[in-house]
Chains A and B, each alone.
Chain A
Amino acid sequence: MAEKLGIYVCHCGSNIAGMVDVEEVARWAGKQIADVAVARDYKFMCSSLGQQMIEEDIRKLGLTRVVVAACSPHLHEKTFRRACANAKLNPYLCQLTNIREHCSWVSTDREAATAKAKALVYAAAERVKWQQPLEPMPVKVNPRTLVVGGGIAGLQATLELADAGYEVYLVERSPSIGGHMAQFDKTFPTLDCSACILTPKMSEVGQHERVRMLTYSELEEVSGSVGHFRVKIRKKARYVDENLCTGCGICVEKCPRKVIDHEFEAGLGYRKAIYTPFPQAVPRIPVIDTQACIYFERGKCRACEKVCPTNAIAFDQKDETIEIDVGNIILATGWKMFDCRRLPQYGYGRLPNVYTNLEFERLCNAAGPTGGKIVLRDRKTEPRSVAIIHCVGSRDVKTNEYCSAVCCMAALKFGHLVLEKTKAKVYSFYIDMRTNQKGYEEFYQRLLEEGMIFVRGKVAEVTDAARLPSEHGQLIVQVEDTLLGKQRRIPVDMVILMGAMEPQADAKELGLKCGISCSMAGWYTERHPKLDPVATMTDGVFVAGVCQGPKDIPASVAQGAAAAARVQALITKGTVMIEPVVASINEEACSGCRICNNLCPFNAIEYDEDKGVSRVITAMCKGCGTCVAACPAGVISGAHFSNQQILAEIQGALWDANPNGNGLGGDGHASSAGDTQPSLVAG
């Protein structure tokens, strides 16, 4: 029985109609494409009137297939599927083809754009004829949630969920939760003590009955999908038994090996070979750094073991893999500091009194290596002048194009702290001052009044090569002052580089494990930049905090809470409908070659040793098509993406291809190529 197609071409105001002759496309489709019962164009197909039009046509004309030529399926596939379902047409018999993002927005030639729109409509029409009615599958949502990352965003999400009555697994890579915020001294613009507002949340999480904290642990593997993820976590060996340790700290005190702490103290302070990162660490259970420990180096010492009152030291501990089942995952994995050595002109690593912003945070911190005294590397001299250089590794095509969003405000905060604690002059070298949140501009005004000196210009160089006697022994900041319109050399005692926030080195890898992608810069891609900022393209995986893009503490907290709210909505609903777009293996034809076995990113393929065939576990399959493409025997098919559907789509798109122009023409064969060429969709 021939299908009855309805074709609907959307103007999208002038978004499509401005570049594509939509009326012509509809008129043409009605005449040119086989089995079309009705072809219409409309100003806004997604409006309720547009949807009603489709619904009425399905009812009155008995349409069996619907093609909507409009925007991206990300935006309105659901809308039109719902419209079809309302009119009792299986929603999977509706095909949305994108003539906006894929056509009108990227074209400059009206005629070519119209021709392309026709090809796209033809392709969708050919494809939709082969589509099968499908039914979504209900899946129960496991009420447990995994939060990855124990920084402020992850902590907020954890607490929101745990307080709402749901169990949360919190996985943190380092020995303590707290994240970067634990390293900071004050927070802008209110100048609250960072630790004072963070540590209560940390201990709340640490003691919460519904939170299972897995510190010093990393996410290894994720399988399954929304509602029923299975996650493998590697708990790295601490060499301290967590059940026995009371956190008394005597082991740390007695440990004879002291090493530079490049992590928490940013290289400015020391830690022992057995250590907790900072006094308020949660949990208070120390970790042995095997790189530093004398016992691991020479097989002798075991001082910590001797002094431990509860015999908690366990040198034979091994990494442990834990498997947990959760319904949703929130990634709040944060950021890493830009390596300021990458810009040698600023002298970091070469000129001792050039600091990074993270080092300066530790320098200011009352609990830091200098007890909060702002001094030069000699640990004695108070600087008489300090230069703060903005945008180091941000807003620069050579390093990172993006703005790190927090450095302007952090620079102002540093300026305030220097002015408060020392008698030094403070210079800020900025490109643009970005103070666009609540209370931020006021803070900028305050610093202007406090006497911080602002120089607008990108610093060319920081050098210790003096040209004038007065510059001797100082660091000279060479800069073009763009407001004065001249080059300046400003001698200072100390330089602070406002290094950029960068994505974690393994962000992409972790994203792949969870089935989400990163932007060009490496930040996780949200489902919609405006309307869905914490969801991702993978249902049940959410993002919060800086891992989604540079942002300050209030925004990170807001995202943590938002992600938790989205998860709660799913848990409360109890079941989710999952897409029936899954792969299946024709067992009769499968030869058990096992090519597909370890390709599945969702571990949804199992091998049946007895029958010698591979099999897809439907509930775990996400319909990505990897196995379909890889099966050398062609016996795996993907529902909604069958070979027939795809080849028909290609054939539709090439509706005007010249059979004699396919590279075979003119070779002298007498028989007509057109008659005898096997069709693309031949059996």
Chain B
Amino acid sequence: MTTTATQETTKTKGKLALYWAASCGGCEIAVLAINEKILDVAAAFDIVFWPVAVDAKVRDVEKMPDKSIDVCLFNGGIRTSEQEYMAQLLRKKSKVLVAFGSCAHEGCIPGLANLSSREEVFEAAYAQGDSTENPDGVRPQHETPMPEGPLYLPVFYDTLKTLDQTVPVDYYLPGCPPEAENIWAAITAILEGKLPPAGSVIGPNTTVCDECPRKRTEKKIKKFLRTYQVKPDEKTCLLELGLVCCGIATRAGCGALCPKVNSPCIGCHGPNDGVHDYGARLMSALASVIDSQDPEEIDQIIREGIPDPVGTFYRFSLAGSQLRRRKKQVAGNGVKRG
């Protein structure tokens, strides 16, 4: 029985979908970085939906039976009603939904706009930019009346959500973008049915330090420095040199790419298993190794060395963090949560 089943699965090609929501598009390119192995992917899967590369329409997907797509690699966060609809549609149609890359996983750079309201985002994009000329103050409208009938644009939401804040997600592939080897490893795992338990982040459960060849000693930091202020040698831990290297808190799997070329880790792989809030973790870790007992001096070290705390500690994870966004209103009203 088992043999027949296996043979059958290898005979029938799987169905693969890829989608691009609120992200830069780097994840789409990253898929191609697996080079000639893309042919293996094509051999194993029918690519049923991949707007950037394959011509297919949303209505084609709508017509597919539920759970008919074997794997959907979904990159990007959810900022508009269209992206939200596509997330729900692909969830419904897919057996395995993978949050592919940092945006889908944790919100990434687009998620930093959660520090602003929709109006502020529009203000920045359609009014304040140096290259912006918009004397009439035009803003994107959901509905625009035209002689032929109204035209619609997707609704731009106030808050960017991660994929799993929108629909249930089976796996996460971290990285901005995910590294080719990891993509290939994940695809192989899917092909061979060797997937970790649902809900897992695909990758090792340890941090970048584990893969970093630099020598680490006990940490004592007197001053945080910006990258232009220090010329690192090849051996010393970048954090010990005063650079805010996020490797201590960031999931391994990249092979310590950045620290190896003298650039501090900026944390694109997100946290380890069991860490609920990446930024808070990183902050408490760094705060605890500041080498001073004087509250004022500590304050100064942080103020001068880390001018943009949210951008430093939540660069990739603000939308997925426990805070998610700038405060809007308070909770607590005497009703049990459902």
Interface residues in chain A, defined as those with a beta carbon under 8 Å from any beta carbon in chain B? 32, 115, 588-595, 597-599, 607, 612, 626, 629-635, 643, 647, 654-659, 661-671, 674, 676-678, 680, 682-683
Contact = CB atoms under 8 A, between A and B. Distances in A.
Interface in B216-259: 216-220, 239, 247-249, 252
Interface string B180-220: 00000000000000000001000001111110000011111
Interface in B276-293: 276, 281-282, 284-285, 288-289
Contact of A589 (B166, B272, B322, B332): B272
Nearest to B327: A663
Nearest to A642: B274
A633 B248 contact: yes
A589 B206 contact: yes
B291 to A, nearest CB: 9
Contact of B210 (A591, A626, A647, A671): A591
A677 B274 CA distance: 17
Nearest to B204: A589
A632 B334 contact: no
Nearest to B85: A670
Nearest to A683: B199
Sort A-B residue pairs by CB-CB distance and give the 8 closest, nearest first.
Answer: A632-B249, A667-B158, A591-B210, A634-B275, A632-B285, A591-B209, A632-B248, A593-B209
B164 A678 contact: yes
B332 A658 contact: yes
A633 B331 contact: no
Q: Is the interface of A mostly helix, strand, loop or mixed?
A: loop
Contact of A626 (B168, B205, B274, B288): B288
A630 B284 contact: yes
B285 A630 contact: yes
10 contacts: A589-B206, A632-B281, A654-B332, A661-B329, A663-B330, A667-B328, A668-B81, A668-B155, A671-B166, A683-B273
Contact of A643 (B210, B276, B324): B276
B263 interface: no
Contact of A665 (B239, B284, B329, B337): B329
B105 interface: no
A656 B219 CA distance: 42
A599 B220 CA distance: 10
A32 B218 CA distance: 49
Nearest to A630: B288
Nearest to A647: B276
Contacts, number: 158
Given A658-B332, A677-B165, A670 B276 contact: no
A9 B331 CA distance: 27
Nearest to A665: B329
Contacts of A589: 205-206, 272-273
Nearest to A657: B331
A669 B328 CA distance: 15
A240 to B, nearest CB: 34
B284 A670 contact: no
A606 to B, nearest CB: 11
Contact of A588 (B206, B271, B334): B206
Interface string B73-97: 0000010010010001000000000
A633 B206 contact: yes
B248 A595 contact: yes
A676 B167 contact: yes
Contacts of A666: 158, 328-329
B interface residue count range (under 10 / 10 to 19 / 20 to 34 / 35 or more): 35 or more
Contacts of A607: 218
A592 B208 CA distance: 10
A671 B331 contact: no
B53 interface: no
A597 B220 CA distance: 10
Contacts of B289: 595, 598-599, 630
Nearest to B320: A678
Contacts of A661: 329-333
Given A591-B209, A658-B337, 4 more contacts: A591-B208, A656-B334, A658-B331, A666-B329
B315 interface: no
Contacts of B166: 669, 671, 676
Nearest to B287: A630
Contacts of B164: 676, 678
Contacts of B272: 589, 633-635
A595 B157 contact: no
A36 B285 CA distance: 38
B159 A591 contact: no
Contact of B84 (A592, A659, A669): A669
Given A591-B210, A599-B288, A630-B284, A659 B275 contact: no
A588 to B, nearest CB: 7
A632 B155 contact: no
Contact of B206 (A591, A658, A678, A682): A591
B213 to A, nearest CB: 11
B11 interface: no
B324 A633 contact: no
Contacts of B288: 595, 599, 626, 629-630
Nearest to B293: A509
A639 B97 CA distance: 35
A592 B332 contact: no
Nearest to A115: B334
Interface in B284-338: 284-285, 288-289, 322, 324-325, 327-338
A75 B31 CA distance: 61
Contacts of A591: 206-210, 248, 252
B236 to A, nearest CB: 13
Contacts of A634: 271-275, 281
Contact of A595 (B167, B199, B285, B328): B285
Nearest to A595: B285
B157 A668 contact: yes
Contacts of B249: 632-633
Contacts of A633: 206-207, 248-249, 272, 275, 281
Interface in B101-122: 118
Contacts of A593: 207, 209, 216, 239, 247-248
B207 A598 contact: no
B334 A678 contact: no
Contacts of A599: 288-289
A629 to B, nearest CB: 5
Contacts of A682: 199
A520 to B, nearest CB: 17
Nearest to B164: A678
Contacts of A597: 218-219
Given A597-B218, A634-B272, A655 B333 contact: no
A658 B329 CA distance: 11
A630 B327 CA distance: 26
A594 B236 CA distance: 13
Nearest to B325: A663
Contacts of B167: 671, 676
Contacts of A670: 81, 84
B326 to A, nearest CB: 8
A655 B336 CA distance: 6
A32 to B, nearest CB: 7
Contact of A658 (B209, B324, B333): B333
Contact of A676 (B168, B209, B217): B168
B163 to A, nearest CB: 10
Nearest to B280: A629
A204 B96 CA distance: 82
B126 to A, nearest CB: 19
B274 to A, nearest CB: 5
B336 A32 contact: yes
Contacts of B208: 591
A680 B118 CA distance: 27
A671 B207 contact: no
Contacts of B168: 676
- Listed residue (B84, B164, B168, B207) with the most chain A CB atoms within 10 angstroms of its CB: B207
Contact of A669 (B161, B205, B206): B161
A674 B337 CA distance: 8
